[in-house]
Amino acid sequence: MEVKKIRQELNELIKNIVEHSESFPANRPIPSLEVSAVISKVNKMQERLAVLKYLLEIHENQQKIIPSQESTITQEEELVAPESAVSEITITEQVAEPEAPVIETTEVTQQEEQEKIEEKATIVVENVKTKQEVAQKLSRTPIKSLKEAFSLNDRYLYANELFDKNMEAFNNLIKTIDESSNINEAQEKLITAKNQYNWDEENNFYVEFNILVERRFS
């Protein structure tokens, strides 16, 4: 069930990434913000793939163990096959007692194996998450100037998406934020612009704008 669920999540992620990529016209550059969004989805897909790979390996190993156990049981049954009524009774009495401990040992082994699987799966997820956290920290390093944080292409994209193609309005906001004395003052100016242009809080450009302001005053 876990494997099936992870495969469904992976299919949805792949479909989402393709749709995201195809949503941008070929005649205009893709903004760095959108690339970051795709990277985030790819990182999530990598995490799920790591867990899926581990679970499938465990399943394959268990499939190899089961035939081996069945073969052992068959050999034991052949060993206790009766040759006569007397030998059947004698052998049955000798073999009957160790059966219970063997089953208990198998149950304990399966339980321990399951615990090891869960422990290792947790370690895999934590390792992937750690790599993602490091990447996120690197992407949020401080910047000296908000003005320098935007490339020429970024300026056109942000002006088009957030300022109704008004480059002057965009440049003025960048300048006033850079001149702010602290992050609270800078965020107030950004919120004022948000209300003026009616930006959606989930708009990717607005979200990235907020992150850049935080990095400017971190």
Residue ranges of the domains in the chain?
2-139, 146-216
Question: 124 with 46: CB under 8 angstroms?
Answer: no
d(CA 171, CA 216): 16
Please name the amino acid found at residue 195: N
pLDDT of the chain, 218 residues: tens digit per residue: 577 777 887 788 788 788 767 776 665 666 666 677 777 778 777 877 888 787 787 877 777 766 655 665 555 555 554 544 444 444 444 444 555 555 455 555 777 777 777 776 677 656 555 545 544 554 568 999 998 999 999 999 999 999 999 999 999 999 999 999 999 999 999 999 999 999 999 999 999 999 999 999 98
pTM, to two decimals = 0.41
